[in-house]
Structure 1
Amino acid sequence: MSEPVRSTPGSLPLSRLAEPLLRRLSELLDRAAPGKGWRDLAQRAGSRGRVRLSPLDLEQCSLKVLEPEGSPSWSLLKLLGDRGCTVVELVEFLQALEHTEALQCLSHSGIKIVVQPDSQAVLSGQVVKLCCWATGHPFVHYQWFKQEKEVPHGNSPELVLNPVNVNDSGFYICRVNSESSFVFSRWARLEVCDLQGTSHGSLIGLPENKLRICIQPQPQNLTVGDALVLECGAVGNPIPHYQWFRNGFPLANGSKNVYMVTYADVEHQGTYWCHVFNDREDQDSKKIEVIIGRKAVAVECTEEDLSDLQKPADLQEQSNHRPVGLLYYAGHGYENYGNSFMVPIDAPNPYRSANCLCVQNILKLMQEKETGLNVFLLDMCRKRNEYDDTILILDALKVTANIVFGYATCQGAEAFEIQQSGLANGIFMKFLKDRLLEDKKITVLLDEVAEDMGKCHLTKGKQALEIRSSLSEKRALTDPIQQTASSAESLARNLQWAKAHELPESMYLEFKCGVQIQLGFAAEFSNVMIIYTRIVKKPPEIVVCRAYVTDFALDLDVDPKEANKGTPEETGSYLVSKDLPKHCLYTRLSSLQKLREHLIFTVCLHYEYPGIEDTMDERKEVNVGKPLIAKLGLHHGFKNNNCVQTCCMANNPFHNQIESSPVAAKYYVPSHCQPNSCPGTYHPNRICSDSIRQPETCSCNGTSRVLPSRHEVLNYSPPVEKSNVPVETTDDTVELEFLLSDNLRFSEQQ
């Protein structure tokens, strides 16, 4: 871990000194002997080119004597602090004036941390001690923090965790206070390794702080497309670092204790091991083999069995190798004359069947692919669309078994959603996701979801799950996916899927002023990307610094009011917020499928120097190519035709608006309010800025409900309060001191 620069009181801006100390200095200067008063201090300070004092400034300070509690010296010190004067400079001025008493007053406020807390990795159940010892006048107080929260009873130099458990993992810091100032220790990272009940074995009896590997990577035998996950865990003090190797070469993204490849291919097989090290010693994990290929299963069979396998009418063989069709849709919808329609977010007002996707047509396309199981999970309303009198004449569906429909609500009824922790889920999805991984026949699983929904008092009498099934086999959502090796179409689709999820590489930008920022990227959906920026290096002479992104293509859905926010939730992003790094500015880009050219935008840097009122700025243009689904160029070949049902579904599984595409079933998309059916206007991903209000239902039928329907999602994010606590740390600890000092500056300005 990189150690941040330690703060000392002398390097603090004068404006950061505690008010009692400033008052004491003012009193000493107000009654000082000739040659040592506030005017002499002003003359010394004004002679420095960086701190400029005009005659008007001195006159305003002098007029303070006319006020009952006024002090010229107090006014001067506040003015010097506002102009960027530091405690070090003030000491130099007072030394030149030979003002011994004021110098002693400042020296008494000094705090010096003599023992810093150490980062360490330990085993669960051990006794862990974090130490921070400091000196100061007349005495000091301690307060420990875990991230930004105070540790209860953590007000002594030693923080003892006895016994330590995995929940204690995190970053710790100690704040040391004296009467007039405070400083923070360096950050200490604590990693707690849990062996989950297994014996500690050779770790018992080792010397304290000894580096040892306690979790060894395990051999892997995978098929193409599986996820490769290797884990190595170690304990020791100083805290261990990791570097993964394959076939003797270090891996570029292998500096964590877990190495992961989400889509493993043949090129990823080989011999792996992890090199674990700290400042004192190092150790290698055991070497393991990772094999990636297609498994061949050998079975014994008779000549009669072999002849049966060659028969095309072998229904059992066909059933075992036929693909599965799965459609999950969450959004606005309706049902007319027995046909269900999914409404895209860009449908006209009013919309009709020609503007929507017909579920029955999708089933027909699945049957043409000879799917062995077709599952439809539809989290949408099924009320009649009074603006659509079209009676569709659809081609007859094949009479096939193994079709399952799970409707979130009954025919003619609405489907509701509920908010929890700022994230909206349909009632159907809220209960369905709790059972998705259960290895049960799908109809049995849906029956249990229906029972769960029936116990929810919020929707009793308003919404009930409806299940339709022609299931003739025991099929479950947990069944393994079987692929035919000869399917070129399947391989091409998998290649497109992987290509549609490629993110730009994280990058670092250097500006002329010496500031370095990191530009990172994350995917929320295949067509929604998060850009985050954070400052990782700042010269000490720059006091304020901020980087943000702008100038995006008009094709993209970016609201400037929701860009460059302090939290992902403020941009409307909830699904991946916990996985993003902290202390960044976040911008959410939607509708990447509309992007025709490379994604080019501008990174703007604003910064300020002390004593200079003007804000400086620099700009850099960044080109990240075509990220995520933009690589597929889905806009090619589309015409200006509202007939989504015939133009899109007949030839291409992707619709122009991927967020409502039934094919991208893995990615849940909140619903959209249609202007003709709901009061007001719904703005996707917008945070409500007015007061908290109770969610209301769609009033399509002129009545009001307790819950919002699938038509509307209300998001509320409470304001973040600033306080005199340390900021939460990130994996990149090199910028911790900068983040901490900024937080203290904000706290002092309140």
Structure 2
Amino acid sequence: MAKIDEDMSLDHIPPAIYKELVNELNKNSNWQVLAYHVAEELEYQWNSWLQSLEQNISTTKTPADNLLFELNVKMCTVGILCTLLRDCELGSVLSVLHHPEPSIIVKHPSDGMECKSLKIPFGQHLYLSCKATGIPPPSYQWCHNNIELQGQQSHELDIIINSCNQAGEYNCKISQVTKDGKAVNSVLLTKSVFVDISHIPVVIQQQPSTFLEIKEGEDFTIKCIAQGHPKPCYQWFRDNTRLEGETSNVLHIKQFNSKYEGKYHCYISNGVNEVITQRTHVMMDLPREKASAKIALIIANDDYENHKCLETPKNDAAKISNLLKEIGFKVICLVNLSLEQMRNAMKVFSEVLTEGVYGLFYYAGHGFKMQESYMLAIDAPASYLRKDAICESELLAMLLQNDPTLLVAILDMCQTVPPKECNPDIHNEIPKIEEYKSRKNLRNLVQAYSTSSHRPSYERTNSKYGLYAMHLSKYISKNIPVVKVFEEVGKSIDKLLKGTERNQIPIFALTITKPFRLTDAIYTREALSMLNNLNNLIAFSNKSFEISFKKVGIAAKVTISLFMEPYLNVIKVSVCNLEDLEVNFFNYEATKPNNLFQVMGSKHECRIHNPQICQGLVVAISKNGTRIDVTLLDIQNYIPLILKRINN
């Protein structure tokens, strides 16, 4: 029943009630809902009708005022307006004119369902709806197992089932609050719908940690989280032995000692399927070593002059270099070196491998095995001898001479014997023996190989990285003892190739006496002069300067940068401010092999491999195919100093 006479015209509504009516219509654009409904009833063009109501508005005249005026002109009474508001479900506006009416549920969530239960698979929507009438309009709160669902205050519930915990009873609590919000008139509950989640296979959502280091006497936990329906069951194992009573998703071990060391995993099942977590390698946390410096020499050879070019060494070496930088290594990274350049780079590297220093050498490229391992430079002749390569003993003789605290040498290359039919002379060659020794001892040396003796090392088809480097990159920067790094690399490759015919079997040998880690901290009691010298040798930053073409009076900006990180011996030369001209680059003196390359897709850039052998760079500019001027650029002042050392 209306609070005022239903036959009353709108312009006679008491001012206080009229003002409140206007305010409610202006809230949330309620006037638009009413205007649209009126337009439909009167078959008006609703968009032009709404636009007309928004004209001539002011601080005292709102769209709601215009709408009520138009309705009054059309002989609308209070009773008719109440009917229109009810039809539009504008209960909050209707409550201004109408006495309260108790809530009535007119639609339950289960209406139209054959039974009151639903079976819903993971990832699907649960959609329920209900409806109630009343003045003031009722509010809605959806509940799950009698617990209110946060943010679900609409007459519709639409959620995604992504947890087994979402199974159970769903209903809606319908409340009617007084207009001033101070009291609840009534609370009604809809009929319930019961949700059952379809059987879902176990899926591991959180794997346990790969490695854990625990101090003796400490407690520790290993945790995994899995989802599935029915609820998953757990069983923990250590070294494949069942741990009795450990059937939670969290394994608790108290007062750790060496007997608890091993590899832990959890078997999880739910009657639909079964899965096994990754293994957690639990080790005793031993005292940590420290290094005075950590330095690496990385060499990638792939662009051979007389042998098959390789696809992945450049990517392999760059990935290993960047990972080593992340754990504090100073890195000398070079690509495609001649035999002389390789020896010189190793010599520079050996000078900084002094007591207290961790050194790491990584080589990716062609290699072979003749009693010991040999690395091939890019200028190796087609029918090479051992003297045309660098053997491992020569490498170690150089790198161990100043007694580094730790040396890791990694040879990512083939270990096959050169075939007699292709290279007969090498089998008659008398090898030169290099004895490697240090002044103190040969301890704390790690020698790692991507494959074992007389076996090949593979580049995988359509892979950016070689097989060994791909797995080495998973562990080389982890905070684990260096011994474990190469153990895990081997196991990782074994797991990948399990059950397949294989030739590549990585191996390593070591004489480790302490729990060294490549992640060990660096301490500096005093500045090491050799380290300062190295920093100066490998320092590089982009250089920009101006050059001029005097004949035509044109100036241009030149920028010299590294062509590809982290390699120090490939630079890029870019010329700017010559957009309307063609730019070509030439060596001032011919070099063999040619080390100058115009950058693909660019008219104004070139790259230079081994820029230290470039006597000068000629920059020529042309217009419409006609050369108009040249200038000479001396790039020797803009390259890392180490490049001059490795070319001596």
- TM-score exceeds 0.5: no
* TM-score normalised by L of structure 2: 0.39
Which one has a bigger Cα radius of gyration?
2
Ranked by relative contact order (alpha carbons within 8 Å, sequence separation 6 or more), the top structure is: 1
